[in-house]
Amino acid sequence: MNQETDKTIASVGRPGLIRKIAGYSTYRSETVVKGIGDDAAVLAGSETRLGLLSSETFVEGVEFDLSFMPFHQVGAKAVSAAVSDIYAMNGLPRAVIVNLAIPNRITLDMIDDLYKGIGMACADYQCQLAGGDLTGSHNALIISVSVYGDVDKEKIVYNSGAEIDDAICVTGDVGSALAGLKVLLREKRHWEESGDPIMQPDLAEWDHVVKRQLVPVARKDMVALFHDKGIRPTSMIDVSQGLLSDLQRLAGNSKRGAYIYQSALPIDLQTRKVADEMQEDVDKYALYGGEDFELMFTLPEKEAEKLSKINSEFTVIGKITAKDGLVEMQTGEGDVAVFGGPAGS
Amino acid sequence: MNQETDKTIASVGRPGLIRKIAGYSTYRSETVVKGIGDDAAVLAGSETRLGLLSSETFVEGVEFDLSFMPFHQVGAKAVSAAVSDIYAMNGLPRAVIVNLAIPNRITLDMIDDLYKGIGMACADYQCQLAGGDLTGSHNALIISVSVYGDVDKEKIVYNSGAEIDDAICVTGDVGSALAGLKVLLREKRHWEESGDPIMQPDLAEWDHVVKRQLVPVARKDMVALFHDKGIRPTSMIDVSQGLLSDLQRLAGNSKRGAYIYQSALPIDLQTRKVADEMQEDVDKYALYGGEDFELMFTLPEKEAEKLSKINSEFTVIGKITAKDGLVEMQTGEGDVAVFGGPAGS
C-alpha cells in the first residue's frame, strides 16, 4: 500500500473530502440548477419556482445519545437540522422523507415516540412527512432525513453571493448547543458514578443551553421576515458545522474574505457560565460549537442597519472583505487572528 | 411496562409499522400530491410534470458485506436501488444526494472507490450526484441515497391502479439476487475455513446470480420502452422486498387481489442450480428473495399480449382478481396456495 492509499479521511478533512467527491459528479442533468456546494441542491421547478433538496444522516452515539435524549426529541431535532438547510436557501420546506435503520433492542413504543417528534416538527415547519425506508441495524439507530422545499426564483439565496463591505449577520446566539451538550454529558457522568438509577439531574439552571442542544429550532421566523419585508440577503448559510467553519465556507464560495469582531460574537450568559465552570474558552464554543442551526447571512451595511431597527433577532459580527477565503478576527485585546485553511466547497 | 410498550417491531412487521408511521403524517402540504404508500412521494412540479422523491438507507452488515463486495459495487448498487423507485413510478431520475456515515477504519481510498461506483451509476441512469452529508459512525458504514426524479403528469403510474383481469407482468427473473448472495456467503465461509488469505473462489459458474447480487441494474430500459411506445401500465412497483410481498402491496393498494401461476415465475437456470445445491425450494427464492430490482406492472391482457410481441424482457405471471388484498398461487400440482396477510401500505 502506498501513502495515498492509506490516507485517512481525517487527514483531508471534511471540505477536502467534499471537493474530492465533487470530482465524481461528472454527469450533468438539466434538472439540476446547482449541485454540490450549497446547503441544498437546487432543482429546476416551475416557471417561477425552484426546487430544493437536502439530506442529513444522524447516527446514535455520534449525533445523538439516547441516554439523555428522549426519542421524540431525537426525531424533532433531526427534522429541524434537515429543514434548516432549506431555510438557508431562503426557501420553505414542503416534504420530508425519513429513513430508519433500527437495531433489535428498539421497541415499537420507542419508534412511536420518535415519529411523534418527527410529526410535530413537520407540523411546526409546515412540511409533510411523505415517505421513508425501514431497515435493520446491528448496533446504532440511524436516522436519515431528506427534505424537499421550494423557493421563488427571485428569492433564492446562495452561500456564494457575499459582496465586499456587506455586514455579516448571525441570528440568535452561538455555542449554546455545545454548552448544552457539555452540561448533559457531565450530568450523565455524575449519574453513572452515583450508581443511583433514579437520580434526576437538576437542569433548571441550564434550561437555555440544554434546550438548544435537545430541541433546536430552525429559523423559519427569519425567512418569513425576509419574505414579508422583501429582503434578499446577498448570501446565507446555516450555522451547523460551527460559526468559523461555516463562515469560511461562505467567504470561500463567495471568493471573498471576512473580518469579524470577537467581542461581537452573540454568546448567551448561560453559555458563558458553562464555559466558566468547565474552565474552557467560551469563544471556542462560539467559533467551533456547531449544531446551533442559526442563520448567518450578509446584507449591504445600510440594509442590515434598517433591518436591525425592525428586528432584534440577529447580530452584526463583522463585514465581508476582498481577501479571498481569509477569515480575520479582531480579538478583545486588539490583535487580529487569521484563519486561512480550507475555504469553500 | 405493559405489553403494548414492550412490543417488538418484528411483531407488527414492516407493513404494520408503515401504517403506524402514516398515522403521524398529519400535516398536509399542497406541494405533496401523494405521500406515504408508493415507491416514491409525488410532488407538485410544473404545469406538465410531477416531481418524485425517494430515499433508501444501506447499512454495512445488513444490506451489504464488505468482505465480498468491492466499494465501487456497493456505491453503484445503492444508486440502482434508489433510482429503481423512480422507474417504478414510470419516471426518470434526475438528481441523487448521497449521505455517508463513515467509521474510522474506512480510508480515503475506499471512499474514493465508493464514489467511483456512485458516479458511474449516476452517469448510467443519467442523473446528477448533487450533494450529500458526511458524518462519523462507530461501527458500520452507512449509505443513504435520496433521489429526485420527474414524470409527465399523464405518464405517472401508481402502485394502486390495477384493474380486474389485468395481466401481471414481471421483468427479467426473480430470486437470482438471493441465489447470488447464497453463493457468495458459501464461498466466504469456505474462505474463512480454509485459512488461506489469498484463496480466490471460482465464481465463473455462478456469474449471472453473483452479478445480480453485486451489480443489479434498475430497469430504465423498460421505462424507456413505455415512454417510446406510449404505454402506461395501470399499476407498477419495483420488486425489492420480494415478489410476493411487493405483489401483496400492489394488490392491496389497488383494492384488488392477484392470481398467479407458480410455473410461470421467471426463474433463471442458475438460480435453480443454486437452490438444488443448497437443497432448498427455488420457488421460495423467487417469492421471498428480494433485491431483484425488477419491475412488476399490470396491463389489460390484450395490451400485455401486444407488448410481448415487441419485447421479451418480461413474463406474465398471472392476473388481477376482485379479491381485495388476497394473493392466490396455483402450484405445479394444481393446488391453490392463498397468501392473505398484511396488504397495502
Kindly report, residue by residue over A321-345, the tens digit of the pLDDT: 999 989 999 998 889 999 975 444 4
Whether A247 and A258 have beta carbons less than 8 Å apart is answered as yes
A-chain CB neighbours of B144 within 8 Å are 55, 57, 99, 144, 146
pLDDT of A3 over the 70 cut: no
Burial label, B265 (beta-carbon count in 10 A; 0-12, 13-18, 19+): buried
Q: Is the pLDDT of residue B326 over 90?
A: yes
Q: Is the pLDDT of residue B6 over 70?
A: no
Which pLDDT value is given to residue B343? 46
Work out the percent of chain A whose per-residue pLDDT is above 90. Answer: 81
In whole angstroms, give the CA distance from residue A224 to residue A229: 9
B41/A109 touch (CB, cutoff 8 Å), yes or no: no
Query: Which of B14, B94, B136 lies closest to A32 in CB terms?
Result: B94
Q: What is the DSSP letter of A265?
A: S
Query: Domain A26-152 - what CATH class?
Result: alpha beta
Query: Structural domain boundaries of chain A?
Result: 26-152, 167-339
Share the mean pLDDT of chain B. Answer: 93
Q: Do domains B3-152 and B167-339 have the same CATH topology?
A: no
Considering CB atoms only, which of B9, B27, B129 is closest to A122? B27
Rounded average pLDDT over A215-233: 97
Q: Which range has the worst mean pLDDT, A86-100, A328-342, B22-36, B72-86?
A: A328-342
| Residue whose C-alpha cell is 459495487 | B73
Helices B269-278 and B176-194: crossing angle, nearest 10°? 50
CB-nearest to A133 from B6, B55, B104 is B55
Mean pLDDT over A123-152 rounds to: 95
* Contact across the interface for A131 and B41, Cβ inside 8 Å: yes
C-alpha cell at B264: 410461470
A321 in helix, strand or coil? strand
Sheet strand arrangement including A327-330: A235-239, A294-299, A167-171, A314-321, A257-261, A327-330, A336-339
pLDDT above 70 coverage of chain A, percent: 97
Tally Cβ neighbours within 10 Å of residue A341: 14
Q: pLDDT (tens digit, 9 = 90+) per residue, A263-320? A: 999 999 999 999 999 999 999 999 999 999 999 999 999 999 999 999 999 999 999 9
Give yes or no for residue B332 having a pLDDT over 50.
Answer: yes
Q: Compute the nearest-CA separation of B235 from chain A (Å).
A: 19
Searching chain B, which residue's CA lies closest to the CA of residue A144?
Answer: B144
Lowest mean pLDDT, pick from A12-16, A107-111, A163-167, A260-264? A12-16
pLDDT score of B198 more than 90: no
CATH number for the domain formed by residue range(s) A167-339: 3.90.650.10
Q: 3-class SS at B309? A: helix
Average pLDDT, chain A: 93
More confident: B37 or B7: B37
pLDDT in tens, B301-318: 999 999 999 999 999 999
Three cell numbers written together for A65: 445519545
Helix (H) or strand (E) holding A235: strand A235-239
A108–B17 C-beta distance less than 8 A: yes
Nearest residue on chain B to A11, alpha-carbon basis? B108
Q: Of A205, A99, A236, give the one whose Cα is nearest residue B98.
A: A99
User: Above 50 in pLDDT, residue B344?
Assistant: no
Across the interface, of A24, A41, A134, the residue whose CB is closest to B97 is A41
Q: What is the DSSP string of B164-233?
A: TTPEEEEES-SSHHHHHHHHHHHHHHHHHHH--TT-----GGGHHHHHHHHS----HHHHHHHHHHT---
Interchain pair B115, A43: CB under 8 A: no
Residue from B6, B55, B241 whose CB has the most chain A CBs within 10 Å, to mutate: B55
The pLDDT tens digits for B234-254 are 999 999 999 999 999 999 999
Interface confidence, given as ipTM, is 0.92
Chain B neighbors of A111, CB-CB under 8 A? 9, 17, 20
- Confidence bin at A202 (pLDDT 50/70/90): confident
A35/B135 CB distance under 8 A: no
Phi, psi torsion values for A26, nearest 5 degrees: -95, -35
Lowest mean pLDDT among A89-103, A148-162, A184-198: A184-198
Confidence category of residue B12, pLDDT binned at 50, 70, 90: confident
Which residues in chain B are contacts of A63 at CB distance < 8 A?
135
CA A163 from chain centre, in angstroms, equals: 22
**Phi, then psi, of B265 in degrees rounded to 5:** -60, 125
Give the architecture-level CATH label for domain B3-152: 2-Layer Sandwich (3.30)
CB contacts of B58 in chain A (<8 Å) are 135
Locate B75 and state its grid cell.
456505491
- Distance to chain A for B251, nearest Cα, Å: 19
* Per-residue model confidence (pLDDT) at position A11: 75
Q: Is the pLDDT of residue B43 over 60?
A: yes
CB contact under 8 A, B24 and A119: yes
